[in-house]
Structure 1
Amino acid sequence: MDRVDWTSWRAVLFDLDGVVTPTAEVHMRAWSEMFNAFLTNDAPTLPDAASADLSAYTDADYFAHVDGKPRYDGVRDFLMSRAILLPEGTSEDPGTELTVRGLGNRKNDAFNAVLARDGVTAYPGSVELLDHLRELDLPLAVVSSSANAPAVLAAAGLADRFRCVVDGRVATELGLPGKPAPDTFLHAAEALGATAADSVVLEDAVSGVRAGAAGGFGLVIGVDRGAGPDTLTRAGADLVVADLAELVVPATGGAR
């Protein structure tokens, strides 16, 4: 498949971080700072420290254990990969608390500080595709594991482009499991009056691509921001692009 006929679809579902906005880079920095501070300062004091892997957290850890997942799931999966056991805690735990949810909240604090300081600008190619789909009057949704999706969309000036936002807070309120489960995508498609079969999913994370494939969506497009085309294809992407501008179909026909 080398082009997309957008008029064949009834809804388009976008992941946010790494697809519409480069906030994945902000998330990656926040995760790295949080986990490396934890591994250096906190983990050595734990009872199981001698049997745990306390080597530095890397980008490879991000893609393998954190990328695209709900925040607490990312914390839990990374700690498991290092044989580190922490109590679950509660969502109200402060970032100073050595619990799964405390670490997740510590990371969220770091992300919000960077967003407030630096803001965020959407990928130009993504805005180009959003403009094109607006001309076609296709209903659009954001489906993000982040609890910060509305704030990011507002900071990027794109809040009015999407009829529906299903983020981490919505998923928690509705009891929807996060990616790689397809439930959040399925909920967004239904909210837009569409089915999975007539909806398109755009994702940069392996877990998100897997969610689209598991949900039986009609077209799953992988956006390669670092995971690699082969990895996204193996996860279930029908098509992989490096930039969403590649998906804009000019008036003369054919993908650019």
Structure 2
Amino acid sequence: MTDNSLQRILIIEDDLKIAALLQDYFVASGYQVEQQHDGRSGLASVQKSLPDLVLLDLMLPLMDGISVCKEIRKFTQIPVIMLTARVEEVDRLLGLEVGADDYVCKPFSPREVVARAKIHLRRHSGKTTQASGFFIETAEQRILFEGNALPLTPVEYRLLAELISHPNRVFSRQHLLDIAHEDQRDINDRTIDSHIKNIRKKIQSKLPEPECLHSVYGVGYRFELPPSSST
């Protein structure tokens, strides 16, 4: 059985019963799940910490699903599946034109939604992930900024890819040690600090301002999207 425990699904749906039903099915399939019940909160959640896939209702309070999807596509290419009770063809096409990967019409089978999500997660795996001008090419094990590859070591690649994939999330040094552990057995906090220092220099050679990698005193590090890319 495939272990999906590290994959996180974000459900943005204002119908609490539907959201709860979908969560039950995804949790039973081994995924982590978060719910948000209006468009603004949903978008804020994606900006704070990228999920692996978003289930996005078309009709939402505060900010509709089309607008949320447009904003999401400004900084990431994670899979987005639209949920809609409006079956007019224009709505289906419009949803896909703004960057949605798929749509499911209500009422739907939760099993079908999970199956669709698995397909898109598999397709997305190994493809380029974009965040604020940074491109993570998983298959090639490299990171580009505005088309230019950063000269990263394998350990630096793994550390930066983890940080970029979850903008604004604070990672402990222990977590980053675990990421680096594959290639280096004799490592400690100072080794991580040294790697981060080197990564900073390599980013600053391409992007002098603003600072993207931030130290969090007594905890670890976080990657922060430049303001122009997160608004």
TM over 0.5: no
Q: TM-score, normalised by structure 2?
A: 0.37
Larger RCO, structure (CA 8 Å, separation 6 or more): 1
More helix, by proportion: 1
More strand, by proportion: 2
